[in-house]
Structure 1
């Protein structure tokens, strides 16, 4: 069996990937069983697609029977500095580090397709490309390939890149020698769990998405329960608390790919400006951004919760201007925010 791994790694580096490792896509694993327990417990919340795709998601070969090997790629998106101190400015919104640049799906997908074409040409076998948009469990594959391990916060954690890695996977029908898997290196540390503002981790290595601010700000469409509205602080898209506090980030470096670096407009944007966005202005501001996919109404809902938490009476007018918004979820959030600021 010809060993194509070094040439694939070289090509991956040339395409801008920071890590390239190999895993078996056909061997048994326990990740599917863990996911089934997660869904059975209802911890996936309104993400119904996790339930409908559960069988295909349970193992790579359940989705593609010919899969034999996985080429797992990582692209570093490390920030310039610890982002959490930005939340000290309660009149500015906090957008998760991963969403401050161009949509990583678009940044990575074309490069994956290029690399996949080269792999197919070298091996003579079929390939398929995945960037978090199909029922494939990338994080367990990444751990199996040795990129890192799923920490107590359930995200992938790397000894060389900390918490800041975008993942892409190429499945191949070719047999390729796997790299050694990565073990778990969290030890007794619980910094990620302790930092969670909504207690979304019922136990180490377990997540209840229904309590997670990333889920609530992005996936959840309705009005939030009161406890989460107040807990979100100024977080308006995603949450980095469990990622940013991890001690392994001391080994992380700033992203070298320009397209995933933060845009100035998306670092501490003023809540008053964001509350005034109509649909057209929202689309312009978040062009090519992952934020765009949640739409103006859900985003402005998040902004209004942050306004209600700001304690800034100067933002009262921004909330009052939206109490009769055509979107019921926006109007509800505006009334809540106005009442909070008035009471304060």
Structure 2
């Protein structure tokens, strides 16, 4: 369905840009679906390497994800939008404060999915309303991160930025701090010029990763990524990666924050995307004291809520173990008797890291014989071995 006449196209783009800006979007660009590369081979390589870890949905949706037309056969154009969520300070500064919990910038405020999807629907309604008389069959579909859409390559194709060596989008105007939204439409709109890779010889993001999650530039192994480990991973954190996590309890911003293009980044202007004061530098001790009801109430409307109290406590306990603070032992101790083995196992490791050797050995000898879960029992054995070796 073609929107005719270049002059009308230009007026339509000006209208969309104005409305997008009024809705808080920092950037709007357009690409044609037929110009998108088929990513099936690249995705299969990613899956075959096992880089998707336990995210089985990536394999299940591979074919639909490979090309926009596989998701919607009628799509002609894709309107890509960027929503700035730039922080007011470098999030890595908090890594040195061992008694505090470091939460990824994107999760220090309201869940961006709901906010941006609502704005995309508003913009889409304005577009269809404007074209209702001339294009009554116009249709749209909106996506924000949760559907099988390759947002970052499409954003690069549309000219929002380029996919950097850390696999995330980099913008000349906003650095690494852009949420992406997509509007698929059966309207044929004039496309923008694709952006080009401007990473050059820089490997700052690769070198900044605390767990070595980049096997090579432009590839990421989720098995070693702290964002995956603290959010998508439902099991214990692998022992060999726990120390490298530091106090990161939900996500990791290191590869994003170190990017030199962030010198052009701007602080988020949307009030609902500005960090909550209580999530800028929260105390580990406060989080360790949370029961399920308190967790749900505290993180209502936050993306953190979706991982649940048990996974959240697993992460906080690992951070407590990395703190080196024996003063947190009294906050960790109650979790040795938690009903969830995931929490108990993390508590054992944490206590083993921060409590005096003699005290821990005495406690371990009492507790490990009472444990019925084999994985948790193994945690006691490993922690005690670490104390005595």
1:88 to 96, 112, 118: 96
Return the offset for 1:343.
4.7
1:37 to 35, 40, 45: 45
Measured in 2, the distance between the counterparts of 1:162 and 1:141 equals: 17
Q: Are residues 1:251 and 2:259 paired?
A: no
Return the offset for 1:317.
0.9
Provide Cα deviations, 1:195-234, integer angstroms capped at 9, x if missing partner: 0000000001010011000000000000111111111000
Residue aligning to 1:108: 116
Aligned length: 344
Residue aligning to 1:54: 62
Residue aligning to 1:6: 14
Measured in 2, the distance between the counterparts of 1:27 and 1:186 equals: 23
Residue aligning to 1:79: 87
Provide Cα deviations, 1:20-46, integer angstroms capped at 9, x if missing partner: 110112224043332221112110001
Specify the SS of the correspondent of 2:78: strand
Residue aligning to 1:192: 205
Measured in 2, the distance between the counterparts of 1:51 and 1:182 equals: 28
1:118 to 115, 120, 126: 126
Q: Are residues 1:338 and 2:351 paired?
A: yes
Specify the SS of the correspondent of 1:143: helix
Provide Cα deviations, 1:97-139, integer angstroms capped at 9, x if missing partner: 0100100001111110011112223343110000111111111
Return the offset for 1:330.
0.3
Residue aligning to 2:341: 328
Specify the SS of the correspondent of 2:335: coil
Per mean C-alpha deviation after superposition, the further-off stretch among 1-10 and 244-253 is 1-10
Provide Cα deviations, 1:49-87, integer angstroms capped at 9, x if missing partner: 101111111111000000010011111000001110111
1:64 to 72, 87, 90: 72
Measured in 2, the distance between the counterparts of 1:117 and 1:137 equals: 23
The ranges of structure 1 where at least 4 consecutive aligned residues each deviate by more than 6 angstroms after the TM superposition are none
Specify the SS of the correspondent of 1:70: strand
1:160 to 160, 173, 197: 173
Measured in 2, the distance between the counterparts of 1:192 and 1:66 equals: 38
How does the TM-score come out when normalised to structure 1?
Answer: 0.98
Measured in 2, the distance between the counterparts of 1:279 and 1:325 equals: 12
Specify the SS of the correspondent of 1:74: strand
How does the TM-score come out when normalised to structure 2?
Answer: 0.87
Specify the SS of the correspondent of 1:205: coil
Q: Is the 8 A contact 1:31 1:140 kept in 2?
A: no
Measured in 2, the distance between the counterparts of 1:31 and 1:325 equals: 44
Residues 246 and 28 (structure 1 numbering): CA distance in 2 closer, same or farther, change over 3 Å?
A: closer
Q: Is the 8 A contact 2:139 2:185 kept in 1?
A: yes
Measured in 2, the distance between the counterparts of 1:33 and 1:23 equals: 22
| Higher percent of residues as helix | 2
* Structure 1 residue runs without a partner (length 5+): none
Q: Are residues 1:309 and 2:327 paired?
A: no
Residue aligning to 1:141: 154
Which has the higher relative contact order, 1 or 2, with Cα contacts under 8 A spaced 6 or more apart?
A: 1
Specify the SS of the correspondent of 2:81: strand
Residue aligning to 2:245: 232
Measured in 2, the distance between the counterparts of 1:217 and 1:253 equals: 27
Residue aligning to 2:279: 266
Measured in 2, the distance between the counterparts of 1:12 and 1:224 equals: 41
Residue aligning to 2:217: 204
Per mean C-alpha deviation after superposition, the further-off stretch among 238-247 and 222-231 is 222-231
Specify the SS of the correspondent of 1:330: helix
Of structures 1 and 2, the larger Rg is shown by 2
